[in-house]
């Protein structure tokens, strides 16, 4: 089915919604997008906008549904980028890679697509390809896409050890049987262990049953483990001071999950 092109006033409204998205005004963007779709239902360019707003709302599944009718949009590179992002957040990593490559074939100068493709390739184990596209994203927009912080394994492990030593003594006693493991990235199995999937940029995760769920007949080692994901932590921090703080916050957060604490409990235990 063919659709008439949007009028200039309609494009002006679309541009205003993109500005709302850039400013983080997601609720306003949603209301305006819904109004536009009421007037021009199923228009491909408005479905692209709807998909973008859905991604801002954390609704990757809904974004894919909207984008399913947007193939004939005026900006196919944007269409493929948004669909790649939705697939990435849903941990359809090969689909994310393929759509990001399609977007770059049309518009090779889009840094956000290079960054997205780098992350997808990293999860797929293609470190060389990931580095190439991360470098290109940085070259195109060095302020937004800084290269990951470089820290040796030894220094990173020392920051983790220090964060554990900062825990209250009675919390450290509880952790004696719980390993704290540093992994480069969350595996696809970990990310898809829940529905909806866990976010690929996950910094840390407690796996297992918390203390409140344990039974007297649990086998040794039943509590599970706390995982810290090194590359995601390095990517999220600008310097070593910020990295130390983020590791400490992530460790405390996952320890809280292990203890089965709510927010009030976390404050009482000194983990807020």
pLDDT confidence bin for 56, thresholds 50/70/90:
very high
Instruction: Classify residue 195 as left (phi > 0), alpha (psi -120 to 50) or beta.
Output: beta
The answer to whether residues 178 and 209 touch, using CB atoms and an 8 Å cutoff, is no
Query: What percent of the chain shows pLDDT beyond 70?
Result: 90
What's the rounded mean pLDDT across residues 240-246? 96
pLDDT of residue 258: 83
Question: Rounded to whole angstroms, how far apart are CA atoms 88 and 200?
Answer: 8
Question: Rounded to whole angstroms, how far apart are CA atoms 77 and 248?
Answer: 39
Does the domain made of 8-140 have the CATH classification 1.25.40.10? yes
What's the rounded mean pLDDT across residues 46-65? 97
In this predicted structure, the answer to whether residue 211 has a pLDDT above a threshold of 60 is no
The answer to whether residues 248 and 163 touch, using CB atoms and an 8 Å cutoff, is yes
Lowest model confidence (mean pLDDT) among 71-75, 85-89, 225-229, 238-242 = 71-75
In this predicted structure, the answer to whether residue 235 has a pLDDT above a threshold of 70 is yes
More confident residue, 2 or 212: 2
Q: Quick one: DSSP state of residue 167?
A: S
The answer to whether residues 216 and 203 touch, using CB atoms and an 8 Å cutoff, is no
Question: Rounded to whole angstroms, how far apart are CA atoms 113 and 111?
Answer: 5
Lowest model confidence (mean pLDDT) among 110-114, 228-232, 256-260 = 256-260
In this predicted structure, the answer to whether residue 209 has a pLDDT above a threshold of 80 is no
pLDDT confidence bin for 238, thresholds 50/70/90:
very high
* CATH 3.30.2010.20 boundaries in the chain: 153-268
Which phi and psi angles does 46 have, rounded to 5°? -75, -30
The closest of 248, 118, 258 to 179, measured between CA atoms, is 258
pLDDT confidence bin for 266, thresholds 50/70/90:
low
What's the rounded mean pLDDT across residues 167-171? 86
More confident residue, 210 or 133: 133
pLDDT of residue 181: 94
Question: Rounded to whole angstroms, how far apart are CA atoms 95 and 102?
Answer: 11
The pLDDT tens digits of the residues spanning 90-117 come to: 999 999 999 999 999 999 999 999 999 9
* CATH 1.25.40.10 boundaries in the chain: 8-140
More confident residue, 67 or 171: 67
What's the rounded mean pLDDT across residues 19-25? 97
The answer to whether residues 259 and 211 touch, using CB atoms and an 8 Å cutoff, is yes
Does the domain made of 153-268 have the CATH classification 3.30.565.10? no
What's the rounded mean pLDDT across residues 243-270? 81
């Amino acid at each position: 089915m063919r659709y008439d092109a949007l009028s200039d006033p309609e494009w002006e409204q679309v541009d205003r919604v993109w500005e709302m998205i850039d400013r983080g005004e997601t609720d306003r963007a949603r209301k305006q997008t819904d109004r536009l779709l009421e007037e021009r239902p199923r228009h491909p360019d408005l479905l692209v906008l709807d998909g973008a707003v859905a991604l801002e709302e954390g609704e990757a599944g809904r974004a894919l549904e909207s984008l399913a009718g947007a193939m004939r949009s005026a900006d196919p590179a944007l269409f493929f980028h948004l669909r790649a992002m939705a697939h990435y957040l849903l941990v359809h990593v090969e689909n994310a890679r393929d759509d990001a490559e399609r977007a770059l074939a049309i518009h090779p100068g889009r840094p956000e697509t290079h960054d997205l493709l780098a992350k997808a390739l990293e999860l797929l184990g293609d470190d060389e390809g990931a580095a190439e596209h991360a470098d290109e994203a940085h070259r195109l927009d060095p302020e937004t896409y800084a290269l990951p912080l470089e820290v040796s394994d030894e220094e990173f492990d020392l920051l983790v050890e220090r964060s554990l030593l900062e825990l209250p003594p009675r919390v450290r006693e509880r952790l004696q049987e719980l390993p704290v493991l540093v992994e480069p990235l969350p595996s696809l199995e970990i990310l898809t262990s829940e529905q909806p999937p866990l976010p690929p940029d996950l910094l840390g995760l407690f796996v297992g049953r918390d203390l409140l769920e344990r039974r007297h007949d649990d086998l040794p080692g039943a509590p599970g483990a706390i995982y810290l994901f090194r590359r995601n932590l390095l990517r999220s921090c600008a310097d070593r001071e910020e990295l130390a703080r983020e590791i400490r916050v992530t460790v405390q957060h996952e320890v809280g999950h292990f203890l089965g604490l709510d927010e009030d409990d976390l404050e009482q235990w000194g983990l807020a």
